[in-house]
Amino acid sequence: MALGACADSLASLKGILANWHIDQSMNTPNIIRPARRAEIPTLAELIQRQLPDMMASEAAVDSIGARLGDLIDDSALLLATIENRLAGMILLDIDQQRIIACFLDPKVASSETPKSLFATAESLLSQFGARWIECSSKPQVQRFMESLGYQHQESPNTTSLLMRKALVSPDDKQSESLFETLADLGIPENYGTTRRLKRIPEARLLVPIGRDIFDRDQKLTPAAATAWNQLQNAAAQQGITLQLVSAFRSIAYQASLIRRKLENGQDIDKVLRVSAAPGFSEHHGGQAVDLTAPGLKPLDESFAESKAYAWLKSNAGIYGFKETFPVNNRHGINWEPWHWRFHNRAAR
């Protein structure tokens, strides 16, 4: 989703840097947070008033607001506040890996406001496995952008500069290894951004939770393991038997699963509809379980017709578990009624 071309996306940033009237010694912290849906009307009016070139094709505030709603779904409309006053905002197009616009209020913002906004936007995009981020800016802002690590790129546009920043350090061997694995499997570089799937680091501390239906030892993080034991016991007290099919998986193991499917002749697009790419599977974090019940075919949608699934739908949230790949999910993964991830324990 893109809000439209924005050759002057950082015009307001140019203004605040060129005409800085704020006491630079102020140490009031910037709070960066995603915008809330209830704030859309106010933000749409602000954008129409302060960044008219950004929405040149949008005639009405309502139309702008509709597009902002998509950004809010991705937490890609970020606000900076100082003492509950709006100091600035940054809009991020995750699909294009691009900063759409940055607005700063010179009466409220501090010298750290733009730095904090850019850093948060970069961190968000990096979580989706993006390897770079770019934006258009006026030449007057080039030095500031370079101070943030952006480099000028060749572009046919003569009125603005195309600035790009690498999000992965050359010293990050772990990421480089993952990217090589993805390329070897034929998984596109923009997999995470287009699927809205975040990278999941491998859990470092795991504890045993028993054996699965294939008699393999399974593990979860301590908090997830405690919650799983409580969930399984609570189900058993009501006559429901929950069986493990899988829990923690390493990145290497996930890669081997996909490679085996490819060697059996499956197309990579088909494989990725049923298996997350290595580095993006919730199983890496040691907080996800695949479940079944006696007499059922494991990893099959028929699980949704079982008493076990009905019980999970009503009770799993009490113990912090959530079905993360429901029907028609935005991640392009087929419905997985058997897959449940521990997030946090709900109030009881």
Position 81 confidence tier, pLDDT thresholds 50, 70, 90: very high
- Helix (H) or strand (E) run with residue 145 in it: helix 142-147
Q: Which of 166, 197, 217 is the last residue of a domain?
A: 166
Tell me, yes or no, whether 102 and 183 share the same domain. no
The arithmetic mean of pLDDT across residues 19-23, rounded, is 42
Note whether residue 258 is domain-resident.
Answer: yes
Q: Which of 108, 112, 167 is CA-nearest to residue 144?
A: 112
- The answer to whether residue 162 sits within a structural domain is yes
Let me know whether 193 and 160 are in one domain.
Answer: no
> Would you state the structure tokens that stand for residue 197, as one six-digit string?
């799937």
One domain, residues 188 and 156? no
At residue 16 the predicted structure's pLDDT band, cuts being 50, 70 and 90, is: very low
Note the pLDDT of residue 52.
62
Confidence of residue 250 (pLDDT cuts 50, 70, 90): very high
Q: Are residues 125 and 185 in the same domain?
A: no
Confidence of residue 285 (pLDDT cuts 50, 70, 90): very high
User: What number is the average pLDDT over the span 300-307?
Assistant: 97
Report the pLDDT value the prediction gives residue 326, as an integer from 0 to 100: 96
- On the question of pLDDT at 271 being above 50, the answer is yes
Q: Is the pLDDT of residue 284 over 90?
A: yes
**Maximum distance among all Cα pairs of the chain, rounded to whole angstroms:** 72
Give the tokens for residue 303: 């699980």
pLDDT in tens, 176-227: 999 999 999 999 999 999 999 999 999 999 999 999 999 999 999 999 999 9
What's the number of domains the chain is made of? 2
Q: Is 73 helix (H, G, I), strand (E, B) or coil?
A: helix
Give the residue from 147, 166, 185 where a domain finishes: 166
More confident residue, 251 or 25: 251
Q: Evaluate whether residue 95 is within a structural domain.
A: yes
The DSSP symbol for 129 reads T
pLDDT of the residue at 329 = 95
Please, which residues have CB within 8 angstroms of residue 200's CB and are 6 or more apart in sequence? Answer: 279, 280, 281, 282, 283, 284, 285
| Within-domain flag for 263 | yes
CATH of the domain at 288: 3.30.1380.10
Report which of 311, 340, 344 is spatially closest to residue 245, judged by C-alpha positions: 340
**Amino acid 345: pLDDT:** 62
Asked if the structure places residue 114 within a domain, the reply is: yes
Whether residues 179 and 308 fall in one domain: yes
Q: How confident is the model at residue 235 (pLDDT cuts 50, 70, 90)?
A: very high
Name the pTM for this structure.
0.87
> How many angstroms separate the CA atoms of 187 and 196, rounded?
15
Helices (H), 19-128: 40-50, 61-73, 113-127
Domain of 111 in residue numbering reads as 11-166
4 in any annotated domain: no
State how far the Cα of 249 lies from the Cα of 216, in Å rounded to an integer.
12
Asked whether residue 149 is assigned to any structural domain, the reply reads: yes
Residues 39 and 158 grouped into a single domain: yes
Would you say residue 1 lies in a domain?
A: no
Distance CA 245, CA 247 (A): 7
pLDDT of amino acid 21 = 40
Instruction: Specify whether 207 is located in the same domain as 338.
Output: yes
- Taking the C-alpha atoms of residue 282 and residue 123, their distance in angstroms, rounded to an integer, is 19
Q: Is the pLDDT of residue 5 over 50?
A: no
> Is residue 119 over pLDDT 50?
yes
Locate tokens 């952006």: which residue?
150
> Do 189 and 263 belong together in one domain?
yes
**pLDDT, averaged across the chain:** 89
Q: Quick one: 96 and 239 in the same domain?
A: no
Query: Which neighbouring-strand residues pair with 217?
Result: 211
* Same domain flag for 158 and 19: yes
CA 39 → CA 68, 76, 84, 151, 333, distances in Å?
10, 14, 14, 34, 31
Are 233 and 142 within one domain? no
Q: How many CA atoms lie within 13 A of 261 on its CB side?
A: 19
Give SS3 for 322: strand
Residue type for 215, please? Answer: D
- 6 confidence band (pLDDT: 50, 70, 90): very low
Paired tokens of 34: 């995603």
pLDDT in tens, 123-152: 999 999 999 999 998 888 899 999 999 999
Q: List the beta strands (DSSP E) in 167-242.
A: 207-211, 217-220
| Final residue in a domain of this structure, among 149, 166, 183 | 166
Block residue for tokens 């501390």? 205
Three-state SS string over 247-301 comes to CCCCHHHHHHHHHHHHHCCCCHHHHCCCCCCCCCCHHHHCCEEEEECCCCCCCCH
- Do 84 and 156 reside in the same domain of the chain? yes
Residues 289-297, mean pLDDT to the nearest whole number:
97
The domain that holds 71 is classified in CATH as 3.40.630.30
The residue-averaged pLDDT of 302-320 equals: 97
